[in-house]
Amino acid sequence: MKKYIIVLLVLLSILGFSQEKDFSRIPQIQTKATYTTEVAPDKIVLSILLKESNTRGKVSVEELEKRLEMVLQSNDIDIQSQLRLVTLSSNFRSFFLKKTDVYKSKSYELELKDLKLVGKILRDLESQKISNVDLSKTEYTKLEELKIELKSKAVLKAKKQAEEMAKALNQSIGKAIFISDVESNINAYQRGVNGLNVRRYSAARMAAAYEVNRAEAELEVEFDKIKVAATVTVHFRLE
């Protein structure tokens, strides 16, 4: 019985190999296509640093936190879900070494989904003497759905390329016999995420721009778009 099983497995292996070999002998056109698009980010993360040393201890971290909370509430920000404490520190250790004043600091991350709200919040924070604000990262939350859509469009592009190549030979293409999802590249202009880059805007810079354009109702902040590309390889039967 064992001998029959071994012989059957060997026959199946040979059959599979021969089929694969026959596949490679099929007249075919191999083409590679890339489809690219750009989308605006729909998620912004701001890094906010509260430092007593900026005011030489005249304003405590606790007071700065109250000011931060006031600004966020006035802009209808859900503090519980959109604001996150990152670090809490002080120069207490260096106090004994240099006999300097002890200053505390706190770092927060603020998540925003309304791009138009970013400029207003930056301006409001600056008015409360909170100027250590940077753009931490930008994201597009529907990225996975977008990549699937781009792959479909890349396949259609590959088919058109194959048709044009076959046409030059007075031939036509048949059904696809092989499709490979080669890669999906994301150039998201982010900082601190996969080594990508991001524009940085300080609250002071935004406030200065607002003073120059005081007549404008709102301060608009422009963000770099996220570039997404999907690449596929398709083999078509050549007829």
Q: Tell me what pLDDT residue 75 has.
A: 94
Percent of the chain scoring above 90 in pLDDT: 40
Continuous H helices in the chain: 2-25, 61-74, 79-82, 92-98, 115-127, 143-168, 203-212
Secondary structure (3-state) at 36: strand
Residue 193 has pLDDT above 90, yes or no: no
Measured in degrees and rounded to the nearest 5, phi and psi for residue 199 equal -75, 145
Distance CA 187, CA 189 (A): 6
Mean pLDDT, residues 188-192 taken together: 40
CA angle 113, 117, 122 (to 5 degrees): 115
Q: Which tens digits make up the pLDDT trace of 68-87?
A: 999 999 999 999 999 999 88
Q: Which tens digits make up the pLDDT trace of 148-180?
A: 999 999 999 999 999 999 999 999 999 999 998
Is the Cβ–Cβ distance between 70 and 128 less than 8 Å? yes
- Four-CA torsion 60, 63, 69, 74, nearest 10 degrees: -130
On whether the 42-140+200-220 domain is CATH 3.30.70.260, my answer is: yes
Most confident of 21-30, 91-100, 105-114, 210-219: 105-114
Q: Tell me what pLDDT residue 51 has.
A: 86
Residue predicted with more confidence, 21 or 50: 50
What are the beta bridge partners of residue 44? 112, 138
Residue 44 has pLDDT above 70, yes or no: yes
Task: Give the chain's mean pLDDT.
Answer: 77
Secondary structure (3-state) at 166: helix
Q: Tell me what pLDDT residue 29 has.
A: 93
Is the Cβ–Cβ distance between 36 and 227 less than 8 Å? yes
Q: Which tens digits make up the pLDDT trace of 85-142?
A: 988 776 555 444 455 566 788 899 999 998 888 888 988 998 898 988 988 888 899 9
Residue 228 has pLDDT above 80, yes or no: yes
Strand order in the sheet with 28-39: 28-39, 226-238, 173-187
Stretch among 20-29, 121-130, 194-203 having the lowest mean pLDDT: 194-203
User: Taking Cα atoms as reference points, which of 74, 86, 7 lies closest to residue 45?
Assistant: 86
